[in-house]
């Protein structure tokens, strides 16, 4: 998942997990998304497939920087956690195990298509991940702001204050609380150095 756009940029279902299979998925994503060296960071858990020699060599060859969850922090990537919750709460989510690998792949394929192309994501001002990924969100949000202002001008009694903020979200942090703490630590260190 691209955390800026929330778009699922690649997925696969296998009957086992391995560093080799994870490497295949990553190579495919980089090719389809035209990812250049030193352009992205891959955040993952600390599992063997992601830390295996094959995967690490693949990431190095692709110019993708690995970044791993902090030890003993199971929810270190809130974007992935949110995606998994959305997946599990879909009305069509199966109550039983999939009958076959093909059935699982078909279901996930339909979910990813819906999530990327139709789901209006609240954290990115109700545009789809695909729209944001393609850079279409700014123009869409500008149009929404105009529509809302016109509605407020037509019926001001329906509005108790300003209209919804339709400004695009420009900065995304993986762990905002941790980022703030890190910034404070840097500031404290700079203050100590200067003192």
Domain range annotation of the chain:
19-194
**Phi and psi at residue 43, in whole multiples of 5°?**
-95, 130
Quote the tokens at residue 94. 């199966």
The mean pLDDT of the chain is: 88
Query: How many angstroms from the chain centroid is the CA of residue 60?
Result: 22
| Cα Rg of the chain, angstroms | 21
User: If DSSP codes are grouped into helix, strand and coil, which group holds residue 44?
Assistant: strand
Is pLDDT above 60 for 187?
no
Least confident of 67-81, 89-103, 105-119: 67-81
Which contacts of 41-47 are long-range, i.e. CB under 8 A and separated by 24 or more positions? 41/65, 41/66, 41/67, 42/66, 42/67, 43/3, 43/67, 43/68, 43/69, 43/76, 43/77, 43/174, 44/68, 44/69, 45/69, 45/76, 45/77, 46/71, 47/17
Instruction: State residue 80's pLDDT score.
Output: 87
The pTM score is 0.82
Q: What is the pLDDT of residues 35-74, one digit of tens each?
A: 999 999 998 888 888 989 999 999 999 999 998 887 767 6
Fold of 19-194: Nucleotidyltransferase; domain 5 (3.30.420)
User: What gap in Å lies between CA 188 and CA 182, rounded to an integer?
Assistant: 10
Quote the tokens at residue 25. 């998925």
User: What gap in Å lies between CA 86 and CA 114, rounded to an integer?
Assistant: 11
**Phi and psi at residue 103, in whole multiples of 5°?**
-60, -40
């Amino acid at each position: 998942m691209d955390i800026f756009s929330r778009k699922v940029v690649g997925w696969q279902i296998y009957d086992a997990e391995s560093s080799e299979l994870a490497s295949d998925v990553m190579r495919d994503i980089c090719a389809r998304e035209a990812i250049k060296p030193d352009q992205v960071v891959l955040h993952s858990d600390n599992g063997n497939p992601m830390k295996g020699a094959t995967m690490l060599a693949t990431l190095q060859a692709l110019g993708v920087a690995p970044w791993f969850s902090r030890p003993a922090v199971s929810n270190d990537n809130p974007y992935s956690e949110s995606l998994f919750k959305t997946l599990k709460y879909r009305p069509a989510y199966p109550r039983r195990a999939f009958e076959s690998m093909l059935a699982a792949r078909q279901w996930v394929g339909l979910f990813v298509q819906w999530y990327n192309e139709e789901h209006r994501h609240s954290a990115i001002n109700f545009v789809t991940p695909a729209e944001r990924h393609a850079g279409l969100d700014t123009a869409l949000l500008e149009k929404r702001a105009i529509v809302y202002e016109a509605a407020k001008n037509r019926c001001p009694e329906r509005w108790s204050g300003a209209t919804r903020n339709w400004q695009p979200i420009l900065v995304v942090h993986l762990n905002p609380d941790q980022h703030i703490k890190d910034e404070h630590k840097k500031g404290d260190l700079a203050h100590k150095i200067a003192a």
